[in-house]
């Protein structure tokens, strides 16, 4: 393992999509530069371009096109070296690949070895959308940076603790064992960050519910700061409807879609072509809200179903815990959308919650309590998934 001169580790965080690669370079917990490779149509052909975003927020599109995404790693290495972010004096300490694939193995973080690829093949059947990108990212990372440890960072590690009360499915044991099934959950890096951040801020309550509302949405209940219940399951498809996911639906529908389209295409439809997008033609909550305000029936129906889903899940978890002492909103929608928060909390006044719309986040404080006087607390806390993954990656390297 190499460490740079000032003992601050340098990590490259990889996010591999089906037709994109994002590279985020961190010194400690500070992002210093990111590169985003994406496909565009040019002259009737698909080309790939790269956008550089620096720490000061400035963007620059690289004056170059590529025929294939496979070049992204080699080009990223060259760009980072040219920009002076990595060199002999400041080498990479590790490459982090986020993994949403489920199963016992992937409920923990690992430095990649032969076993990692065997385990990815096992979970390909339940995660056909995510595994190919993960495999591509790992292989390209190890080929481009052969001396740098590559780590698979579990998206369920923070959630798969002994405190969880809802891990099991009511299925025959032989089926559970064959497919390594469990309600592993996802958004674990966000919830892991929250589990550390809430006590740091001095606002820990016995029974708390955290709502991670972004492009993907989930809810997790914490008892004494540890996860008790979470809304996502074997995959992120279970639970709440979100921008392009159905959320929980009658399993018979999934079976019928699988018979009609094949399992992989059915899973793709339910993950990528459903949710807000299917109901109202947009996966952007801001457009849904604007459409609802213009009395568009499809947008209003999508908004109402979304709000009912989140409020209903909070109510479910409150019942399971025997009450709730505080609610937290995080992620893009949770942190920024006043209409969404107001609509959810209006349904929870019976439980002792009432919020104000005029409270802004004080960044120096790190959180805001948007509750009215006399209400139980309702917090906005910005999440930082990269910070949590980097902390866990540093522990992984130090303990290796």
Q: Is the pLDDT of residue 269 over 90?
A: yes
pTM, whole model, 2 decimals? 0.92
Please indicate, yes or no, whether residues 106 and 223 belong to a single structural domain of this protein: no
pLDDT range class, residue 281, cuts 50, 70, 90:
very high
Please indicate, yes or no, whether residues 367 and 252 belong to a single structural domain of this protein: yes
Are the C-beta atoms of residues 382 and 89 closer than 8 Å to each other? no
Percentage of the chain surpassing pLDDT 70? 98
The partner residues of 26 in beta bridges, in order of sequence, read 11, 31
pLDDT range class, residue 316, cuts 50, 70, 90:
very high
Please indicate, yes or no, whether residues 146 and 223 belong to a single structural domain of this protein: no
Please indicate, yes or no, whether residues 228 and 348 belong to a single structural domain of this protein: yes
Does residue 103 lie within any of the structural domains?
yes
Please indicate, yes or no, whether residues 31 and 116 belong to a single structural domain of this protein: yes
Q: DSSP secondary-structure letter at 69?
A: G
Q: Is the pLDDT of residue 132 over 90?
A: no
Are the C-beta atoms of residues 105 and 119 closer than 8 Å to each other? yes
pLDDT digits (tens, 9 = 90+) for 195-215: 999 999 999 999 999 999 999
Are the C-beta atoms of residues 91 and 4 closer than 8 Å to each other? yes
pLDDT range class, residue 133, cuts 50, 70, 90:
confident
Are the C-beta atoms of residues 109 and 148 closer than 8 Å to each other? no
Does residue 171 lie within any of the structural domains?
no
Q: Is the pLDDT of residue 1 over 60?
A: no
Please indicate, yes or no, whether residues 293 and 360 belong to a single structural domain of this protein: yes
Which is the catalytic residue, given 70, 147, 155, 162? 155
Please indicate, yes or no, whether residues 293 and 378 belong to a single structural domain of this protein: yes
Tell me the torsion sign for CA atoms 197, 153, 49, 33.
positive
Give dist(CA 353, CA 222) in Å, integer: 18
What range defines the domain where residue 248 resides? Answer: 201-386
Please indicate, yes or no, whether residues 150 and 207 belong to a single structural domain of this protein: no
Distances (CA, A) of 192 to 11, 43, 224, 361: 19, 45, 14, 21
Helical ranges in the chain per DSSP H: 72-82, 114-123, 131-144, 173-179, 188-200, 251-261, 263-272, 275-280, 285-293, 297-321, 331-336, 338-346, 385-399
The partner residues of 38 in beta bridges, in order of sequence, read 20, 49
- Last residue of some domain: 116, 135, 154? 154
**Pairing outcome for strands 326-330 and 378-380:** parallel
- Last residue of some domain: 97, 129, 154? 154
Q: Is the pLDDT of residue 3 over 60?
A: no
Does residue 298 lie within any of the structural domains?
yes
Q: Is the pLDDT of residue 175 over 80?
A: yes
Please indicate, yes or no, whether residues 148 and 247 belong to a single structural domain of this protein: no
Are the C-beta atoms of residues 217 and 241 closer than 8 Å to each other? yes
pLDDT digits (tens, 9 = 90+) for 243-268: 999 999 999 999 999 999 999 999 99
- Last residue of some domain: 121, 154, 187? 154
pLDDT range class, residue 129, cuts 50, 70, 90:
confident
Are the C-beta atoms of residues 299 and 251 closer than 8 Å to each other? no
If one counts the domains in the chain, the total is 2
CATH code of residue 91: 3.30.420.40
pLDDT digits (tens, 9 = 90+) for 74-127: 999 999 999 899 998 889 999 999 998 788 999 999 999 999 999 998 888 888
Is 70 a residue of the active site?
no
Which candidate, 104, 95, 92, 74, places its Cα nearest to that of 152? 95
Q: Is the pLDDT of residue 165 over 70?
A: yes
Which candidate, 172, 179, 174, places its Cα nearest to that of 124? 179
């Amino acid at each position: 393992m190499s460490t740079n001169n000032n003992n601050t580790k340098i990590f490259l965080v990889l996010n591999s999509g089906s037709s994109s690669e994002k590279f985020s370079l961190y010194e400690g917990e500070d992002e210093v530069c990111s590169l985003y490779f994406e496909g565009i149509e040019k002259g009737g052909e698909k080309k790939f371009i790269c956008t550089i975003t620096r720490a000061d927020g400035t963007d620059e599109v690289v004056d170059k096109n590529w025929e294939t995404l496979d070049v992204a790693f080699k080009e990223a290495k060259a760009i980072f070296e040219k920009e002076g972010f990595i060199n002999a004096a400041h080498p990479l300490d590790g490459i982090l690949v986020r993994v949403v694939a489920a199963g016992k193995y992937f409920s923990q973080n690992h430095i990649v070895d032969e076993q990692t690829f065997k385990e990815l093949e096992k979970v390909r059947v339940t995660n056909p959308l995510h595994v190919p990108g993960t495999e591509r990212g790992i292989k390209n990372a190890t080929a481009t940076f052969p001396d740098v440890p590559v780590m698979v960072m579990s998206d369920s590690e923070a959630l798969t603790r002994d405190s969880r009360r809802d891990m099991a499915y009511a299925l025959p044991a032989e089926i559970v064992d064959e497919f390594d099934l469990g309600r592993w959950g996802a958004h674990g890096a966000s919830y892991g960050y929250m589990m550390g951040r809430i006590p740091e801020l001095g606002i820990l309550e016995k029974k708390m519910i955290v709502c991670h509302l972004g492009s993907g949405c989930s809810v997790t209940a914490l008892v004494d700061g540890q996860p008790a219940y979470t809304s996502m399951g074997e995959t992120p498809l279970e639970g709440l409807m979100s921008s392009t996911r159905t959320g929980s639906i009658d399993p018979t529908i999934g079976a019928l879609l699988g018979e009609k389209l094949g399992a992989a295409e059915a899973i793709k439809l339910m993950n990528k072509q459903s949710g807000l997008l299917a109901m109202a033609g947009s996966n952007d909550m801001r457009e849904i809200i604007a459409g609802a305000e213009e009395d568009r029936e499809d947008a209003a129906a999508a908004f109402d179903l979304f709000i009912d889903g989140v409020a209903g899940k909070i109510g479910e978890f409150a019942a399971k815990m025997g009450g709730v002492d505080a609610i937290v909103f995080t992620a893009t929608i949770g942190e920024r959308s006043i209409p969404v928060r107001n609509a959810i909390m209006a349904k929870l006044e019976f439980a002792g919650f009432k919020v104000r719309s005029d409270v802004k986040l004080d960044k120096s404080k790190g959180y805001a309590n948007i509750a009215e006087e006399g209400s139980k607390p309702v917090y906005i806390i910005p999440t930082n998934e990269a910070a949590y993954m980097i902390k866990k990656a540093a522990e992984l390297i130090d303990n290796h």
